[in-house]
A = this chain, B = another copy of it.
Amino acid sequence: VYDETIPHFLRMLTNLSSWLDQAQTYADERGFDADRLVVARLSPDQFELARQIQSATDTAKFCATRLSGETPPNWADDETTLAALRERVATAIAYLETVTPEQLAEGATAKVSPGFLQGAWFHGVDYVRGFALPNFYFHVTTAYSILRANGVPLGKRTFIGQVPVQPPE
């Protein structure tokens, strides 16, 4: 399950980092405080940008540790500035880069029982495909849409980012 998860978390978090860079540039150009974006949200009862980014990075982190059995690093969820959110993403990228295919070698058949399931559990592969990936993409997409709805000029191509294509033959 390494190939289904970690490289894609890394690619999308790298994209997310570039959107935050563009948000800073946009704020500078327009002359507003970029940190105002940290509390922006799409709906009054939906999480703000900070929590979307915390959730995306946590989903990737917990996916790695629940499949490997390692202890997850603790991240404080105390970001109040755009710079701190960029640092949060950088921390998550650095952590995921330490995760090896060997650590997830038994991940597909791991028994994964997040606390919110109250004793129920996933086969590792079901957890990846039925929960971790949808949840990760949900939060990354919502972070993207919050920035875009606030005027940051992000094209759709920016969302997908670099794709692993082969050159024309």
Determine if B165 and A3 form an interchain contact, defined as CB atoms under 8 angstroms apart: no
A130 at the B interface (CB under 8 A): yes
A121 at the B interface (CB under 8 A): yes
- Mask, A114-150, CB within 8 Å of B = 1, is 0001111111011001110111011001100100110
Determine if B159 and A119 form an interchain contact, defined as CB atoms under 8 angstroms apart: no
A8 at the B interface (CB under 8 A): yes
Q: Please list the residues of chain A having a beta carbon within 8 angstroms of any beta carbon in chain B.
A: 3-4, 7-8, 11-12, 42-43, 45-46, 117-123, 125-126, 129-131, 133-135, 137-138, 141-142, 145, 148-149, 156, 159-160, 163-169
Q: A121 to nearest B CB, angstroms?
A: 5
**Nearest B residue (CB) for A4:** B129
Determine if A122 and B168 form an interchain contact, defined as CB atoms under 8 angstroms apart: no
Determine if B43 and A121 form an interchain contact, defined as CB atoms under 8 angstroms apart: no
Secondary structure call for the A interface: helix
Determine if B42 and A166 form an interchain contact, defined as CB atoms under 8 angstroms apart: no
Determine if B42 and A163 form an interchain contact, defined as CB atoms under 8 angstroms apart: no
Determine if A126 and B167 form an interchain contact, defined as CB atoms under 8 angstroms apart: no
Q: Which of B11, B129, B149, B168 contacts A42 (CB 8 A)?
A: B149
The complex places the Cα of A163 from the Cα of B123 at a distance, in Å, of 11
Q: Which of B11, B43, B131 contacts A163 (CB 8 A)?
A: B131
A12-B134, A134-B159, A145-B42 known; A129 vs B166 contact (CB < 8 Å)? no
Chain B residues within 8 Å of A118, by CB: 168
Determine if B4 and A163 form an interchain contact, defined as CB atoms under 8 angstroms apart: no
A42-B42, A42-B145, A145-B142 known; A160 vs B137 contact (CB < 8 Å)? no
Q: A40 to nearest B CB, angstroms?
A: 12
